[in-house]
């Protein structure tokens, strides 16, 4: 298996013919790819939807904010001008790590206006991840928040800057903090104040060029950056917002992290804004806060990961809020148990829509008018007629119809390679991407996710690369070897367990603290530890890590 794209590490632009010429032609001719870009997205939406409400929520000061499309246009234009005054230019990579506050929309679309390339981080990321993203993306700025959820992001920025200095990474990125107390950093307010009146920053990026970088869930030592183009992503959102039934009446509650691909595009924030609907940001996903927001804002739609959907089901009867406005509840990011999917309609009064997507591209949805059986028991089918799917066995041959196998895909919005590195395991020489999922395709084309072949733990939608966390644990002087495996969990679907080989085992708590101190997102800290003197013989005669992880996972079930 060879990779189709050679991306030299130093090259942060998309390689020429990222999508081979004949495919690009085909996608243009089919009308999938157009000349539209994210730079003109808000100016264009403001022309169409001017006084309609675009964004509602709290800003970084905790104050309630409501922006119409016209106001969002002005806000993003002013911030874009201020960012330009701070030397942020077209093509510059800018890390964005913000919670679900209204500033998120202003910052992201201001960057798009400039033709800058946002790198979407999760609020949960810590210094090891942020440092890695800045270094790999060669980011010139890092936009974060002062404090959120009791965590000091300025302290995180300080650690990152000193880590980068130690590694000899230059230049040092400009840190912009969306807070009054920006400390030694630049506040977002100061950036806005440096805007030049009347000056409109309006880049004209290449529609088929790089628009932003998403982060992969990862299966390797360090998470990979996913390059998405204006044309591919806008197209995917057009299809996804149609399948999700978006209109000017849509009012979407955003409780999952805003920067996640699901929340951005399935149909997500951008899909709702594309149709003149309203995005309601909520920083607190707990049912009490979310139900209050649904009642107060008459939200029609929400996207959840399975554990949140289960929590909402479990608490619905205890919280007296009016959820009658809710029409569609999307669930995705991890397999949603069929029994739970069947409860959404009767207990929450919404149509359940399963979303099986990936930041690399391909998105499958159940359709809103599908019979309940299909909506509950499958993960849907692709949103585009241009999506190609092959289900192959481990030898690379197509399986018989209805059989389980590895999901391979290619299409008008699925990447052809990661940025800054070739991953020969993930792409074949025909440009197909291997998602690492084991699926079955029913005769009607609907996919059912049956399992996973990749070395990843899916902890309630949050992805953990086994290798990344093993590497952190291997840095501990008393850890001789370690394998991170998934253990089934009723609520999260899976939790992580580190199987540690140590002659003098530290306690589980000590190892958890050790991983935390290395600066990784809390969801990646192993939930459980098992200790032994040696790995048990696998009995399969293989010594590969993947085989070992599989063997241990079965053992721990
Ligand atoms: C979404 O994106 P990622 O990049 O965080 O993770 C993708 C992976 C898939 O390959 C699959 O392993 C898993 O997450 N997954 C599901 C699923 N949805 C995602 N597994 C079973 N059932 C589902 N419904 O997670 C993502 C991106 C866009 C939309 C929705 C989810």
Task: State residue 83's pLDDT score.
Answer: 97
Cα of 357 vs centre of ligand 1, distance in Å, is: 4
- The DSSP secondary-structure symbol of 398 reads B
Q: Check pocket membership of 271 for ligand 1, CB cut-off 6 A.
A: no
Q: What is the DSSP string of 258-317?
A: TTSHHHHHSSHHHHHHHTT-EEEE-S--SHHHHHHHHHHHT--EEEE-HHHHHHHHHHGG
- Both tokens of residue 146? 């002062």
Domain check: are 297 and 324 in the same one?
Answer: yes
Burial class (CB in 10 A: 0-12, 13-18, 19+), 90: middle
Q: Tell me which residue range forms the domain holding 462.
A: 457-556
Domain check: are 96 and 244 in the same one?
Answer: no
Domain check: are 54 and 203 in the same one?
Answer: yes
Task: State residue 423's pLDDT score.
Answer: 74
The pLDDT tens digits of the residues spanning 245-283 come to 999 999 999 999 999 999 999 999 999 999 999 999 999
Residue 361 included in any domain: no
Share of the chain above pLDDT 90, in %: 86
Cα of 535 vs centre of ligand 1, distance in Å, is: 31
Q: Check pocket membership of 233 for ligand 1, CB cut-off 6 A.
A: no
Residue 461 included in any domain: yes
Domain check: are 30 and 144 in the same one?
Answer: yes
Using most ligand atoms within 8 A of CB, pick from 260, 334, 357, 493 the residue to mutate for ligand 1.
Answer: 357
Residue 145 included in any domain: yes
Domain check: are 223 and 249 in the same one?
Answer: no
Query: Low-confidence residues of the chain, pLDDT below 70?
Result: 1-11, 421-422, 538-543, 557
Is the complex ipTM higher than 0.85? Answer: yes
Domain check: are 220 and 253 in the same one?
Answer: no
The domain spanning residue 248 has which CATH number? 3.40.50.12780
The pLDDT tens digits of the residues spanning 170-229 come to 788 999 999 878 889 999 999 999 999 777 777 899 999 999 999 998 888 888 999 999
Domain check: are 172 and 278 in the same one?
Answer: no
The domain spanning residue 480 has which CATH number? 3.30.300.30
137 within 8 A of 95, measured Cβ to Cβ = yes
Domain check: are 191 and 172 in the same one?
Answer: yes
484 within 8 A of 549, measured Cβ to Cβ = yes
Q: Check pocket membership of 307 for ligand 1, CB cut-off 6 A.
A: no
pTM, full prediction: 0.95
Task: State residue 541's pLDDT score.
Answer: 53
Residue 423 included in any domain: yes
Q: Check pocket membership of 463 for ligand 1, CB cut-off 6 A.
A: yes
Residue 12 included in any domain: no
Using most ligand atoms within 8 A of CB, pick from 257, 333, 389 the residue to mutate for ligand 1.
Answer: 333
Cα of 215 vs centre of ligand 1, distance in Å, is: 13
Residue 193 included in any domain: yes
**Cα 406 from Cα 436, distance rounded (Å):** 7
What residues does 117 pair with on adjacent strands?
93
Q: Whose CA is nearest to atom 9 of ligand 1?
A: 358
- Count of structural domains, the chain: 3
Domain check: are 448 and 461 in the same one?
Answer: no
469 within 8 A of 523, measured Cβ to Cβ = no
Residue 114 included in any domain: yes
The domain spanning residue 158 has which CATH number? 3.40.50.980
53 within 8 A of 68, measured Cβ to Cβ = yes
Domain check: are 384 and 473 in the same one?
Answer: no
Domain end call among 228, 252, 268: 228
Domain end call among 228, 250, 281: 228
Helix (H) or strand (E) segment spanning residue 145: strand 141-145
Sheet containing 351-358, strands listed edge to edge, beginning at the edge strand earlier in sequence: 64-68, 53-58, 278-281, 251-254, 301-304, 328-332, 351-358, 361-365, 381-382
Domain check: are 205 and 262 in the same one?
Answer: no
Domain check: are 303 and 427 in the same one?
Answer: yes
Task: State residue 170's pLDDT score.
Answer: 76
Task: State residue 169's pLDDT score.
Answer: 82
Domain end call among 194, 228, 262: 228
Residue 101 included in any domain: yes
Task: State residue 310's pLDDT score.
Answer: 98
Torsion of CA 390, 265, 460, 394, to 10 degrees: 10
Task: State residue 6's pLDDT score.
Answer: 38
- Both tokens of residue 247? 């209109």
């Amino acid at each position: 298996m060879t990779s189709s794209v050679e991306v030299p590490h130093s090259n942060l632009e998309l390689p020429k013919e990222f999508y081979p010429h004949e495919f690009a032609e085909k996608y243009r001719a089919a009308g999938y790819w157009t000349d539209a870009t994210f730079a003109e997205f808000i100016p264009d939406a403001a022309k169409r939807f001017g006084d309609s409400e675009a964004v509602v929520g709290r800003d970084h000061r905790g104050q309630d904010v409501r922006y119409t499309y016209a106001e969002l246009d002005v806000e993003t234009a002013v911030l874009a001008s201020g960012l330009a005054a701070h030397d942020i230019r077209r093509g510059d990579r800018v890390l964005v790590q913000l919670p679900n506050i209204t500033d998120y929309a202003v910052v992201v679309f201001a960057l798009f206006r400039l033709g800058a390339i946002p790198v979407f981080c999760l609020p949960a990321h810590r210094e090891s991840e942020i440092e890695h993203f800045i270094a790999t993306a060669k980011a010139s700025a890092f936009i974060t928040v002062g404090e959120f959820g009791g965590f000091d992001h300025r302290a995180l920025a300080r650690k990152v800057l000193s880590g980068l200095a130690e590694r000899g990474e230059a230049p040092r990125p400009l840190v912009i903090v969306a807070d009054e107390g920006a400390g030694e950093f630049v506040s977002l307010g100061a950036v806005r104040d440096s805007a030049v009146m009347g000056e409109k920053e309006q880049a004209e990026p290449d529609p088929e060029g790089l628009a932003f970088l998403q982060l992969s869930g990862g299966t390797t030592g360090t998470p990979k950056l996913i390059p998405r183009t204006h044309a591919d992503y806008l197209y995917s959102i057009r299809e996804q917002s149609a399948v999700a039934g978006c209109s000017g009446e849509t009012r979407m509650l955003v409780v999952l992290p805003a920067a996640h691909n699901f929340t951005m595009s399935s149909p997500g924030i951008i899909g709702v804004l594309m149709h003149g609907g309203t995005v309601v940001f909520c920083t607190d996903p707990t049912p009490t806060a979310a139900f209050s927001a649904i009642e107060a804002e008459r939200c029609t739609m929400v996207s959840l990961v399975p554990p949140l959907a289960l929590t909402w089901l479990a608490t619905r009867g205890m919280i007296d809020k009016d959820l009658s406005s809710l029409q569609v509840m999307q669930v995705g990011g991890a397999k949603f148990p069929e029994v739970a999917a069947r409860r959404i309609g009767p207990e929450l009064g919404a149509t359940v829509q399963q979303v099986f997507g990936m930041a690399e591209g391909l998105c499958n949805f159940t359709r809103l008018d599908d019979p309940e059986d299909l909506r509950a028991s499958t993960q849907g089918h692709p949103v585009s007629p241009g999506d190609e799917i092959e289900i192959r066995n481990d030898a690379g041959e197509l399986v018989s119809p209805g059989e389980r196998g590895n999901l391979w895909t290619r299409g008008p919005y699925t990447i052809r390679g990661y940025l800054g590195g070739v991953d020969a395991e993930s792409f074949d020489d025909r440009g197909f991407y291997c998602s690492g999922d084991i699926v079955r395709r029913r005769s009607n084309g609907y996919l059912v996710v049956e399992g996973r072949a990749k070395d990843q733990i899916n902890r309630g939608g949050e992805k953990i690369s086994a290798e990344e966390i093993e590497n952190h644990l291997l840095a501990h002087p008393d850890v001789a070897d370690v394998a991170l495996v998934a253990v089934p969990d009723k609520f999260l679907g899976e939790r992580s367990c580190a199987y540690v080989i140590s002659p003098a085992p530290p306690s589980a708590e000590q190892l958890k603290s050790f991983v935390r101190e290395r600066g990784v997102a809390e969801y990646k800290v192993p939930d459980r530890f098992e200790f032994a003197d040696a790995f048990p013989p696998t009995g399969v005669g293989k010594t590969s890590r993947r085989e070992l992880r599989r063997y241990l996972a079965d053992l721990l079930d």
